Structure 1
């Protein structure tokens, strides 16, 4: 079993930022990614605060990340992490293929979308990739929901948004762009009933501003918030360190997550090198 200084779980902006920075001082570094380099930023329609770009989409950022980490291909494995087990001086990382040993494990797995438990059997989608039909409903009112509506419109879909709020916390420019492409936006809404209608679509009964509506859609995207996407951890201790949006939802934006990865790597590098120097002086 090979020993690593750092194992990073997650190849999104936070994980990539950490990998690029920590590799300047440590060579025994391994990153696990389950799907694609770049993570969920892939789905972003338009990003206006990423360093070096006036405006860029998520797919282009992922493409640039892939090119940037080509020199680290030996340090990247596309494997699903199943479980972590912590000990005093190391962590064992179990994946679907093998077990790895590391001094520190950096978890940069981002966040997972919440579900409507009442309708969990319907297995509603969270992303637009496998959406079917032309008339699409997005349940949710955050920036992820609005961003996906722009992507769907670009793909020629008719989009309806059902939100339980009034979009007061979202980017105003993003909301303005969405209002240009659809008038079918329902605020302060409550889902009363949601059913699958044979194999063709869904029927939604909901209330908005004290008025009841019944609508039919070909498919639905559920975007009602997120929670930490953590793997199972046994005996968690200080050798497990969270990075990016899995640490705080305030870091959901890619540029902030990337910066957190770089910052964490710099702090750990300084700390470990200082400890190494102190040990050599003692000897």
Structure 2
């Protein structure tokens, strides 16, 4: 029997079989997610001044056109806009827009094809959101990596400032669940843990998504395959494992 790179015996039956129980659990985890209404979330936070909302990478290069554009990601634009607009109407004013805006020679392009070059249409917030009132209140954060938290830009100082001024709840929406959304939420979570700050971070599953690249298609373009449904569910689970609240959706007032 062969061994894998960790020196363990290779799984003779494969992950599909040996992980069956966990995959069943993961399916149940997704099914059991609950809806929360916006007004209750705001009240539980202590009022609208205690809530912040972050839109991650809702840009042309991921939502509409470009080598990494995805219909799955494009489909969350409208619900994110609706949720954030309702939050703004309820008095929330702490918003941030994180968007890939890469240097032409970005090292990230060793892993992903060139995308969202700074100044290009791919790097801009999608026009469907651009005219919404919450956007005008938002901090704009161009970033050159998956995580704005580790960039030298304004995002981390903004988070630390709004928390110091009383924000207790942060809602994170956008893409991709397993990439930029994950690193954004985890950056805040780990900082809060390290500094012993009580912080509620909420990920509505219907306001995040990731791309799907089937195995057969990936082979034809020289890319690594990416199962969108599995990665979406697995990383929502991973976020919950780390103390981040994952809900099915935020229900909105009529």
Q: TM-score, normalized by length of structure 1?
A: 0.30
* Larger fraction in strand: 1
Bigger CA radius of gyration:
1
| TM-score computed with the length of structure 2 as normaliser | 0.33
